[in-house]
Chain A
Amino acid sequence: MDLGNLFVEASRGAAEVDTDFLILLLISLLILTLVVTLVLVFAIRYRRGSPAKRGLLPSFMSHEFEIGWTAATAFLFIFIFWWLVAPPRLAGSPQTPALQIQIYAKQWMWKVEHPNGAREINTLHLPLNTPVHLVMTSQDVIHSFYVPAFRVKHDVLPERVSVLDFYPTQTGTFHLFCAEYCGTDHSQMTGDIIVMRPEDYAHWREVQPQSDTLAAEGEALFHSLGCSGCHDPASPVHAPDLRGVYGQSVPLQDGRHVVADDAYIRDCILMPQLNVPAGYPPIMPSFANVVDDSQIERLIAYIRSLRPGQELPK
């Protein structure tokens, strides 16, 4: 048993969380010490029959005194909020291109798909010092992706895409836990996060059994599901050209503008009437009962891969 390893800080941000924790611990210990000391001193000094002076409360313990400590407490708590909570939440962190990895949670396992199609179960290999962007969804109940060494956690819900960003800074093997109770084998829904040097990771990924990349699979679906029948630029049907649309701002019929991200494209496939692009008739049928989550991920991967004006194979 190595207790020294319990609190390992293995990601950028982990040390900040620990610092926040220690700051709060210090403040709490000060308050606790103050209260306990006062209680002990009073309990001894003013025990029954002690000769200590009783009588009137001293004049400084007046109404103003109460207002004072109320204000001081309120100020302290709001200060903690301002200091520890507000900044990291408000500052949108500019993301350098991150390694995007798909996570599928189901009772009771974690399924992982790397960008080149490499797959693994209950294990996640990651390169060191590389920003990682997890795109997670659940195939049944709510789970929660928790890596204590990275101090990160996010719930993984069905029919919804959750994302989680982190940046591993230490090689090694770390726990992956499901933190949201999910049924019988909840406590067995665990895995290993294996952080490797980038060259080791590249090597590892190369030797995995190759399957089609997500985008290539998405392209096959794009044709087999009939998407290309309308969305091909050469199609007679008036449907948006999807080349280069990913990440762009799309004007909608009702005057709104939305960014074509994963969630938007997902909505367009499942609920096409929700966000009709300006200038196009609302003729697209819903694919809600046609495609499953992993197919949607592939379609999105394909659409993301399309460059503006890219020549499409017939």
Chain B
Amino acid sequence: MSDVTADTLRYSDLPPVMATPNYLTHGRTLGSWLTATDHKRIGLLYAFSITIFFFIGSIAIAIDRLDLLTPAADLVSDDTYNKLFTLHGIVMVWFFLIPSIPATFGNFFLPLMIGAKDVAFPRLNLTSWYLFIIGACFTVACIVAGGVDTGWTFYTPYSSQYSHSYVAAAAAGVFITGFSSILTGLNFIATTHMLRAPGMSWFRLPLFVWSMYTTSAVMILATPVLAITLFLMTAERLFDIPIFDPSQGGDPLLFQHLFWFYSHPAVYIMILPAMGLISEVFTCFARRRVFGYAAMVYALTAIAVIGFFVWGHHMFVAGESPFANLVFSFLSFIVAVPSAIKVFNWTATLYRGQITFESPMLYALGFLWLFTVGGLTGLFLATIPIDIHVTDTYFVVAHFHYIMVGGTVSAFFAGLHYWWPKITGRLYHEAWARFAALLMFFGFNLTFFPQFIMGYAGMPRRYHAYAPEFQIFHVLSTAGAAVLGAAYLMPVGYLIWSAFYGDRAGANPWQATGLEWQTDSPPPKDNFRAPPVITAAPYEYHTAEEGPPSHERGLHNVQGTAG
């Protein structure tokens, strides 16, 4: 069956059937969207929601960043400053980053990539989105009522006893949204197990699907811990039930252990999907089989598993025992190994490729640089004597922004540009997209690289006023943020324009091998015109023997065909 090659049959060779309504034109009312069980529409509902939250979170931190231009606290009040960075953290972590790639591209493409009609539980999928929206309503209500000032970490006893802001409302929003994560994870795992098309064996799964699978496992296992942690904190705050209050036998460090037992794996919920997505982009634009497919799968799995055992590295100076510190330090070094392997494998995938530099590839190359810097600075933080000095400074802020914004958000944009023709059926303006990608990379580095330096010099995070010697770094950082902001706004313009006026994309504009490209753009409601059959491993951009041709853009073998 593997003799079905590009030469014999390729989807795009089939005559277009324009009369079939696609998923966008299947129903045009608002009601048809709000009751949609189609995974593609739910993916777009999420995309719309998280875009709003992305800009809310960005505006919040933009005001703080502007305030930081001068050492004095002069633009907003202390409380407002604190509420804005708290809002930024809560919104960006739980209402943008956690759902970003899984809930949008995962929802849209996981079933397409494994040849399924939909996810395993379509109505549950819609429920997830509504839970997300209900949680979001609590968060918005909290903002409107006056905000919350605990930082996104909700540390006790500040959150449970001392804060005079709307802590319970914010925690309720996060608590409810957590169930949305859990149900999405459950849905993805069930989908991957039950709905793979004939021939789609586990080791033929595209790496994006593997990343969704491992992310889902982390979501299901870790998120309940967050729920119980916030529940206990809220119980202490509202009903004086002493759980963490040390004057009544509780322990504030218990809160930190519970919180980071979720929140460190949550970092992997944010970065694993990015790793999977980048693998799709690198292979497509290098026209090369992914280097070390099995190693990539094992690395994803290893990160997901070991990621559960490193949470204590957030608490080296909190009062953890020295031996526990040592153990968590060791495990943190270990968890860096599979990440390093992925970086090497992506690099090796470029070797002897036939590389082009369309905008998704530019974002992916940006990801590679930013993720590597973010990962390497993680080694500094795993080294206890250095962490003692730089924890709770801007060094940490820079580190996790390199991973989460430089890594995950770059990957999100890579995916957005890679799959936009499939989602909308239209092509965006490539020159604008490349310019935005370069601007984003430049703006990001200008914003966050100075933060490494001032962090090592001792600038603490979450400071409204600061010592004057740090000003030069803050000025650079604020200037970078302005560039970054412009770079984030540009795609909003040219992508929306393209959705209405862009050229028709055709089924497979990148000549990619994945199954999602072997159907119309935009896909029909049921994804494929006929049940697909999978005949090959992913990423067969060239024959195993010969490597990619140096001039032609053609592909050797698509993963499967519809019908």
Contact of A184 among B78, B352, B385 (CB under 8 A): B78
Instruction: Mark interface residues in A174-207 (1 if CB within 8 Å of B CB, else 0).
Output: 0101111111111110100000000000000000
- Stretch from B26-34, B128-136, B425-433, B468-476 at the A interface: B468-476
Q: Which residues of B contact A21 (CB under 8 A)?
A: 380, 386, 456
In the complex, the answer to whether B388 meets A153 with C-beta atoms within 8 Å is yes
Q: Which residues of A contact B380 (CB under 8 A)?
A: 21, 24, 28
Given contacts A35-B368, A162-B319, contact A17 B386 (CB under 8 A): yes
In the complex, the answer to whether A39 meets B350 with C-beta atoms within 8 Å is yes
Bound complex: CA A180 to CA B252 (Å) = 13
Bound complex: CA A80 to CA B334 (Å) = 11
In the complex, the answer to whether B352 meets A160 with C-beta atoms within 8 Å is no
Q: Which residues of B contact A157 (CB under 8 A)?
A: 246, 252-253, 318-319
In the complex, the answer to whether B469 meets A7 with C-beta atoms within 8 Å is no
Closest to B322 in A: A89
Contact of A146 among B354, B383, B392, B549 (CB under 8 A): B392
In the complex, the answer to whether A159 meets B247 with C-beta atoms within 8 Å is yes
Instruction: Mark interface residues in A254-279 (1 if CB within 8 Å of B CB, else 0).
Output: 00000000000000000000000000
Interface magnitude class on chain B: 35 or more
For residue A46, CB closer than 8 A to chain B, the reply is yes
Closest to A90 in B: B326
In the complex, the answer to whether A178 meets B460 with C-beta atoms within 8 Å is yes
For residue A312, CB closer than 8 A to chain B, the reply is no
In the complex, the answer to whether B368 meets A39 with C-beta atoms within 8 Å is yes
Contact of B376 among A31, A50, A162 (CB under 8 A): A31
In the complex, the answer to whether B379 meets A186 with C-beta atoms within 8 Å is no
For residue B180, CB closer than 8 A to chain A, the reply is no
Q: Looking at A42, A149, A157, which has the most chain B CB atoms within 10 Å of its CB?
A: A42
Q: Which residues of A contact B252 (CB under 8 A)?
A: 142, 157-158
For residue A43, CB closer than 8 A to chain B, the reply is yes
For residue A314, CB closer than 8 A to chain B, the reply is no
For residue B280, CB closer than 8 A to chain A, the reply is no
Q: Which residues of A contact B238 (CB under 8 A)?
A: none
Q: Which residues of B contact A78 (CB under 8 A)?
A: 330, 333-334
In the complex, the answer to whether B82 meets A186 with C-beta atoms within 8 Å is yes
Q: Which residues of A contact B340 (CB under 8 A)?
A: 31, 73, 77
Instruction: Mark interface residues in A135-152 (1 if CB within 8 Å of B CB, else 0).
Output: 000001110101011011
Bound complex: CA A147 to CA B287 (Å) = 52
Q: Which residues of A contact B457 (CB under 8 A)?
A: 6-7, 148
| Closest beta carbon of chain A to B262's beta carbon, Å | 19
In the complex, the answer to whether A42 meets B388 with C-beta atoms within 8 Å is no
Q: Looking at A7, A21, A39, A69, which has the most chain B CB atoms within 10 Å of its CB?
A: A39
Q: Which residues of B contact A7 (CB under 8 A)?
A: 456-457
Q: Which residues of A contact B48 (CB under 8 A)?
A: none
For residue A212, CB closer than 8 A to chain B, the reply is no
In the complex, the answer to whether A186 meets B462 with C-beta atoms within 8 Å is yes
Q: Which residues of A contact B354 (CB under 8 A)?
A: 46-49, 54
Contact of A141 among B158, B460, B553 (CB under 8 A): B158
Q: Which residues of A contact B348 (CB under 8 A)?
A: 61
For residue B157, CB closer than 8 A to chain A, the reply is yes
Closest to A31 in B: B376
- Considering only residues 457-484 of chain B, those with a C-beta below 8 Å from chain A are 457-458, 460-469, 471-472
In the complex, the answer to whether B355 meets A80 with C-beta atoms within 8 Å is no
For residue B373, CB closer than 8 A to chain A, the reply is yes
Q: Which residues of A contact B548 (CB under 8 A)?
A: 54
Bound complex: CA A165 to CA B443 (Å) = 41
Q: Which residues of B contact A84 (CB under 8 A)?
A: 383, 385-386
Contact of B462 among A1, A66, A187 (CB under 8 A): A187
Q: Which residues of A contact B158 (CB under 8 A)?
A: 141-142, 181-183
In the complex, the answer to whether A158 meets B388 with C-beta atoms within 8 Å is no
| Closest beta carbon of chain A to B263's beta carbon, Å | 15
Q: Which residues of B contact A66 (CB under 8 A)?
A: 292, 295, 341, 345
For residue A36, CB closer than 8 A to chain B, the reply is yes
For residue B343, CB closer than 8 A to chain A, the reply is yes
Q: Which residues of A contact B347 (CB under 8 A)?
A: 35, 38-39, 42
In the complex, the answer to whether B458 meets A77 with C-beta atoms within 8 Å is no
Interface magnitude class on chain A: 35 or more
For residue A74, CB closer than 8 A to chain B, the reply is yes
For residue A290, CB closer than 8 A to chain B, the reply is no
Q: Which residues of B contact A186 (CB under 8 A)?
A: 82, 462-464
In the complex, the answer to whether B462 meets A54 with C-beta atoms within 8 Å is no
In the complex, the answer to whether B373 meets A149 with C-beta atoms within 8 Å is no
For residue A5, CB closer than 8 A to chain B, the reply is yes
Bound complex: CA A294 to CA B246 (Å) = 16
Bound complex: CA A148 to CA B461 (Å) = 13
For residue B37, CB closer than 8 A to chain A, the reply is no
Closest to B345 in A: A66
Contact of A179 among B334, B392, B547 (CB under 8 A): B392
| Closest beta carbon of chain B to A11's beta carbon, Å | 11
For residue B329, CB closer than 8 A to chain A, the reply is yes
Q: Which residues of B contact A70 (CB under 8 A)?
A: 295, 337, 341
Q: Which residues of B contact A144 (CB under 8 A)?
A: 317, 392
For residue B550, CB closer than 8 A to chain A, the reply is yes
For residue A237, CB closer than 8 A to chain B, the reply is no
Q: Which residues of A contact B344 (CB under 8 A)?
A: 35, 69, 73
In the complex, the answer to whether A184 meets B82 with C-beta atoms within 8 Å is yes
Q: Which residues of A contact B458 (CB under 8 A)?
A: 6, 146, 148-149, 175, 177
In the complex, the answer to whether B388 meets A152 with C-beta atoms within 8 Å is yes
| Closest beta carbon of chain B to A152's beta carbon, Å | 7
Given contacts A70-B295, A77-B336, A89-B326, contact A46 B384 (CB under 8 A): no
In the complex, the answer to whether A148 meets B389 with C-beta atoms within 8 Å is yes
Bound complex: CA A7 to CA B334 (Å) = 30
Q: Looking at A38, A151, A183, which has the most chain B CB atoms within 10 Å of its CB?
A: A183
Instruction: Mark interface residues in B334-364 (1 if CB within 8 Å of A CB, else 0).
Output: 1011001101110110111111110000000
- Other than A152-B389, A179-B460, give 15 A-B pairs with Cβ distance below 8 A: A6-B457, A20-B386, A28-B380, A32-B376, A51-B550, A54-B542, A55-B547, A69-B344, A84-B386, A88-B384, A107-B162, A141-B158, A142-B155, A148-B457, A155-B318
Sample of 22 A–B contacts (CB below 8 Å): A1-B468, A1-B472, A38-B350, A39-B365, A42-B347, A42-B353, A47-B356, A53-B352, A61-B351, A66-B341, A70-B295, A73-B344, A84-B385, A85-B384, A89-B329, A144-B392, A158-B252, A160-B246, A183-B162, A185-B78, A187-B465, A188-B465
Binding site for B on A (CB under 8 A): 1-3, 5-7, 13, 16-17, 20-21, 24, 27-28, 31-32, 35-36, 38-39, 42-43, 46-57, 61, 66, 69-70, 73-74, 77-78, 80-81, 84-86, 88-90, 107, 140-142, 144, 146, 148-149, 151-155, 157-160, 162, 175, 177-188, 190
Closest 9 CB pairs of A and B: A148-B458, A159-B246, A54-B547, A187-B463, A42-B350, A6-B457, A179-B392, A28-B376, A77-B333
